[in-house]
Amino acid sequence: MATVRVALVEDHHLVREGVRLVLDMAPGIEVVAEASSGDEAMAALAMARADVVLLDLGLGDEVGFDVLRAIRARHPAAKVVILTMHRDPEAVRQALGAGAVGYIVKGAHAGELVDAIRAVARGERYLHSSVTGAVIEDSLRRQGDGGALTTREREILRLLSLGLSAPEVGRRLGISVHTVHRHVANMSSKLGVRGVVPLVRYAVEHGIAGAVA
């Protein structure tokens, strides 16, 4: 498997050093750039190709979402993972809406950070478990159509949003693939979309979930 090239954008030196130590010990991951501000990030990304950008939302006086949009505009091939202390659903929705494909909190374990980077490098989305439930529940409260989902359907949607396939969802929940597909069909009907991919995409775009299979 090709090495995943990572750029770190974090204004706290101690935090950045700690993250780098974690990633330096992870096989198949290489830190190719570091920055402490949006301008430094743009300059670093212009010099070093990064597959994944690990971006803190709090960069001094800068608005992290603006930096995120700038990175996505100038370096569309780079996949951005937000690394932040913010766990509120609104921050997650804004980050995903601005183009992030991953969201992980600073209280996560080192292995979860590595998993997030590897997941987005494979083309998946990653939403840390500490915010997934809050995002889904908040969105279901706000949306009448989503509120019609059953507890089982919410479980399935959450797992699909984390990038699991239908067979993996079935094994995780102890149900058959046929049952998973039946629930997917029911959710598609309720939410007005068809199929797994558009269903999860709808969930991401409307804040119901934060990951795409």
Q: Which two tokens stand for residue 41?
A: 């990030």
Query: How far apart are alpha carbons 65 and 100 in whole angstroms?
Result: 9
Q: Is the pLDDT of residue 175 over 60?
A: yes
Say which residue, 130 or 76, is predicted with more confidence.
76
Query: How far apart are alpha carbons 163 and 126 in whole angstroms?
Result: 7
Query: How far apart are alpha carbons 41 and 196 in whole angstroms?
Result: 35
Q: What digits encode the pLDDT tens for the residues 107-158?
A: 889 999 999 999 999 998 898 887 776 666 665 555 555 456 777 887 888 8
Candidate ranges 95-99, 140-144, 195-199; pick with highest mean pLDDT: 95-99
Q: What digits encode the pLDDT tens for the residues 16-73?
A: 999 999 999 999 999 999 999 889 999 999 999 999 999 998 776 666 788 899 999 9
Segment among 58-67, 74-83, 143-152, 203-212 with least mean pLDDT: 203-212
**pLDDT band per the 50, 70, 90 thresholds, residue 211:** very low
Residue type, 155: E
Domains in the chain: ranges and CATH: 4-127 (3.40.50.2300), 132-205 (1.10.10.10)
> Taking the model in full, what pTM does it have?
0.64
Calculate mean pLDDT across residues 102-110: 90
**Residues 6+ away with beta carbon under 8 Å from 190:** 145, 148, 149
Give the Å distances, CA to CA, from 155 to 113, 137, 169, 193, 208: 23, 11, 9, 18, 12
Q: Is the pLDDT of residue 210 over 50?
A: no
pLDDT for position 193: 64
